[in-house]
Amino acid sequence: MNTLPSHVEVLTVPEAARILRVSRFKMYDLVKKNAIPAIRLGEGTIRIPKAAIDALIHGGSTLSEP
């Protein structure tokens, strides 16, 4: 059963990392720390809403790490 609305654009972790120009490992770390919203679709499958990446790029949100 798909619970995501069909209009929600999501990215894989490597795709999001390329857009933000960070390493894949850094992106996984940000997801792990809940510094960026992520959708977990089971064991090892993570998607990141494109809107979250767009918000970071356009200054709507900032990443804060402890």
What does the domain layout of the chain look like in residue ranges? 10-57
Q: Which of 3-7, 21-25, 29-33, 51-55 has the lowest mean pLDDT?
A: 3-7
The neighbour count for residue 39, using CB atoms within 10 Å, is 15
Give the model's pLDDT for residue 7.
Answer: 74
Arithmetic mean of pLDDT, 33-46 = 91
What is the rounded CA–CA span in Å between residue 2 and residue 16?
22
pLDDT at 66: 47
Instruction: Name, in order, each residue with C-beta under 8 angstroms of 24's C-beta and a sequence gap of 6 or more.
Output: 13, 14, 17
